[in-house]
Chains A and B, each alone.
Chain A
């Protein structure tokens, strides 16, 4: 069966690294699921069905992780032996934190605005831009990482998590506004 000890990159036959080609990742994902998915074993034995559910779950998990720039960064860090405490660790970069607070306030005040869509669009544009910048920065740290660069990557990842949450928040406000419209 699937070698569950393989790391996600090996599983997909991809080189271990931060830069992942999205289309070949998706191609390999589909090719793997084509042979492992439970639909291939719907009429198989109990054991085949069990193995295929486990295998397909693992491939889904691996795909989700490698697809998402934030999850991928955390996974790559853990492969390098850096385990983050997701719940409790946060960046201490004051300038960044201040900026986050401002963005959050901006988002909160949106709800009271008369024409909030323009601002919302602009805001999510800026958030996405920031994430993209961090993705580029972290990619550099992962090129040939030493301890110092791994610590730097960890710090960037903390910031990414902040922005990711904010983006989710933005989407929620957008949904709220739309519902109110109807």
Chain B
């Protein structure tokens, strides 16, 4: 028998081994990765010193290009170069019809609810495009840090609905990343600012990115970031500014709407360049080649530009007012406004936001990087590098969740701006004798008609014990976790029978589809699938062992008697052995076994910490 290495409690592992983690800002236009090194959070550059990675992927028969190189081919090879994955992710084929006119791609006509784009390298879903961007960034981080990442925090617009969040998480899974948390972009920015300055009180985060706009109202209190309300527009951003300018150029140049895809891209590039120039100067010259050797020349003043984009800025301010009302705070209560996103460089935006909140907006941290920096700080804490840190983020669900009732109406179950995680139960009954199945349609949105809300998923409950109509009492629990993701469970109350639930996501990929993609991508990389999943299971086992060991060091003496301690140690030892010598299945079973046999200890620990938290407030506070 091999000599087992038995760790003494208190010296289980190298103390405070720094775990590698990263924060990733997966943007519409550009993406970034940041990490905490020597206590400082900073974005990481590529080998050429560039921090921003264009969120562009080019699919060719010869292979896949990501980032700057791909971006260069946008004009010459628009059909195979995908640059708007974030606008498409978690969206359905119907949404694409609305967005489609702005996008050059060829969408594949198919049954699946997820749109796929025809490229030289095959049909590609937006989830796969985002996965490529994530892969590139995590490789950059691993290269810089010199080891594999244990976990990442990925940011999403606060206004992303459930399907868009789920799709983002799927992309991370495809990229082989362990997601510690999906973090809302404005909250990430607040973390970056808040920790820097120890700020307290009500803050507004105005986040205008390339394709999305978010506004969040937060209350900061002793390290707790409490989101009071969030709002925005998932289809409003700097790209729309560019489009306004591009349309103006077309008008001036006498071009009609039916320009070629390549021409459209050139116009957008020219518009974007003009917009950027106007952040510095009062007037800029524009030159666009408009066909056979000809080009159009003209100049645009900042004043003209302001007139062009004002309707868009106003749209964002309206969302700000609505969100303030949702938060129940007046403009005068907002202490500071933080500006996030490249589009807040536009002077008109700063001016108007400053006017609304009656304060000079904060722009100290580079608006392009602030989100990634905040995500890195959060990742560092979540991965366990800062035990005892007081920071806590309490976020909300951005859009109400409801279920379809008679007449196509949505009955709200969880209203928007409810703090997550949250669980709500609803009771249903059968309307036919012996009915054994039931369908539930979950939607997200504020409107009364189901048709005006976004369909999230259809659940089918099966296995309801046969009873007369109206006798069954089925309690369905809708739970939203800290990532804003929904899960549903159901139980028939009179019999205690757990109903089976089959989920049909309206816009997402099914678990099977993800499996298939994972398999494909692995086959592509010539990696042994068995080896990979064994490795994944081993990593999971390591995580469980480490978590338990750390717990034992902390309070094993106090919370366990000798027999219990033996039991826990034995279970730990078995898992350690199995994870070295066992196969994937054995390790998985042993993890489950350990969680079962040590469950009492985990519960005792949580209770203990709750008691400790409450003991700070003794009842005599009220005995005066």
Contact = CB atoms under 8 A, between A and B. Distances in A.
Contact of B602 (A13, A33, A51): A51
A146 interface: no
Interface string B382-424: 1110000010111000000000000000000000001111110
Interface string B210-222: 0000000000011
A169 to B, nearest CB: 14
B479 A53 contact: yes
Contacts of A45: 543-544, 547-548, 595, 602
Contacts of A143: none
B481 interface: yes
Interface stretch (B57-65, B467-475, B610-618): B610-618
A30 interface: yes
Nearest to A44: B547
Nearest to A26: B221
Nearest to A51: B606
Given A39-B393, A56-B421, A30 B224 contact: yes
Interface stretch (B66-74, B243-251, B318-326, B433-441): B318-326
A122 interface: no
Contacts of B421: 38, 53, 56-57, 60
A179 interface: yes
B382 A43 contact: yes
Given A54-B423, A182-B318, A48 B602 contact: yes
Contact of A42 (B222, B383, B390): B383
B181 interface: yes
Interface in B310-332: 314, 317-318, 321-322, 325
A46 interface: yes
Contacts of A63: 419
Contacts of A3: 607
Contacts of B390: 34
Contacts, number: 128
A182 B318 CA distance: 8
Interface in A22-65: 24, 26-28, 30-39, 42-48, 51-58, 60-61, 63-64
Contact of A175 (B325, B602, B607): B325
Contacts of B314: 182
Contacts of B612: 35
A33 B392 contact: yes
A1 interface: yes
A46 B595 contact: yes
Contacts of A179: 318
B617 A34 contact: no
B392 A30 contact: yes
A28 B423 contact: no
Nearest to B481: A53
A2 B607 contact: yes
A83 interface: no
Contacts of B381: 39
B289 interface: no
Contact of A43 (B383, B418, B422): B383
A50 B222 CA distance: 27
A42 to B, nearest CB: 4
A1 B392 contact: no
Nearest to A179: B318
Nearest to A35: B609
Main SS at interface, chain A: helix
A172 B443 CA distance: 21
B384 A56 contact: no
Contacts of B614: 12-13, 28, 31-32
Contacts of A39: 181, 381-382, 392-393, 482
Nearest to B322: A175
A64 B418 contact: yes
A105 interface: no
B151 A24 contact: no
Given A13-B614, A13-B619, A34-B613, A43 B607 contact: no
Interface in B583-624: 591, 595, 599, 602-603, 606-607, 609-610, 612-614, 616-617, 619, 621-622
Interface string B174-197: 000000110000000000000000
Contact of A57 (B151, B318, B321, B479): B479
Interface string A5-33: 00000001111000000001011101111
Residue picked from B224, B384, B482, most chain A C-beta under 10 Å = B482
Given A31-B613, A32-B614, A61-B423, A43 B482 contact: no
A33 B390 CA distance: 11
5 contacts: A2-B610, A28-B617, A48-B602, A54-B423, A175-B322
Given A45-B602, A53-B421, 16 more contacts: A27-B617, A31-B613, A33-B394, A35-B606, A39-B381, A43-B19, A45-B547, A45-B548, A45-B595, A48-B602, A51-B602, A51-B606, A53-B482, A56-B482, A57-B423, A61-B422
Interface of B: 19, 150-151, 180-181, 221-222, 224, 226, 314, 317-318, 321-322, 325, 381-384, 390, 392-394, 418-423, 479, 481-482, 543-544, 547-548, 591, 595, 599, 602-603, 606-607, 609-610, 612-614, 616-617, 619, 621-622
